């Protein structure tokens, strides 16, 4: 199984079409919409996690591009600065995906970056400022 978080930029013309749904129907891919701002008859941006077999993944991305959608790797990631973390658990209360959780009985906070949806809710919730956003070096999708 291959999985990647992608950023899709739609033109106003494409925002009227259900192109993301075709990824499941035509290419047997699953998607999880992590963030989206798409308004009717206007440009839009969507961040989604796309998963499936690598060959189908490539074909699905080619399809998106053929529809006029700009496809890029998500250009940032959330990182935890372990030395700053006090394991207070404040971030776990706001994390919608379970990427941040408390390990019992030690009460240590764990961060699973693979589950992170880039929502950034943990950043203002962290009193010690251990959660940060950092750019990813390779931001363009590699085929």
| pLDDT above 60: residue 143 | no
**89 has pLDDT over 50:** yes
Q: Structure tokens of 50?
A: 């796309």
Q: Which H or E run contains 80?
A: strand 76-80
CATH code of the domain covering residue 57: 3.30.70.260
More confident call, 9 vs 74:
9
pLDDT at 7: 82
Q: Does residue 28 lie within any of the structural domains?
A: yes
Structural contact between residues 1 and 51, judged by C-beta atoms closer than 8 angstroms: yes
Expressed as residue numbers, the domain containing 50 is 2-73
In 3-state terms, what secondary structure has residue 130? Answer: coil
> Given 73, 90, 114, which residue is the final one in a domain?
73
Q: Provide the token pair at 4.
A: 């990647």
pLDDT score at 142: 42
Q: What is the pTM of this model?
A: 0.55
Instruction: List pLDDT tens digits, range 34-50.
Output: 878 777 677 888 888 88
| Tens digit of each residue's pLDDT (9 = 90 or more) over 111-139 | 998 788 777 889 999 999 999 887 665 43
Q: Report if residue 140 sits inside a domain.
A: no
Same domain, 46 and 96: no
* Whole-number average pLDDT of the chain: 85
pLDDT greater than 80 at residue 81 = yes
């Amino acid at each position: 199984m291959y999985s990647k978080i992608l950023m899709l930029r739609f033109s106003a013309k494409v925002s009227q079409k259900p192109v993301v749904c075709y990824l499941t129907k035509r290419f047997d891919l699953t998607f999880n919409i992590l963030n989206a701002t798409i308004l009717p008859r206007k440009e839009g941006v969507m961040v989604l996690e796309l998963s499936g077999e690598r060959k189908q993944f490539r074909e699905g991305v080619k399809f998106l591009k053929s529809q006029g959608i700009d496809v890029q790797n998500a250009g940032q990631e959330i990182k935890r600065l372990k030395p700053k973390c006090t394991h207070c658990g404040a971030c776990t209360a706001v994390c919608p995906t379970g990427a941040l959780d408390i390990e019992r009985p030690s009460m240590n906070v764990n961060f699973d970056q693979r589950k992170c949806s880039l929502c950034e809710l943990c950043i203002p919730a962290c009193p010690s400022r251990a959660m940060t956003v950092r750019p990813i070096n390779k931001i363009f999708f590699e085929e």
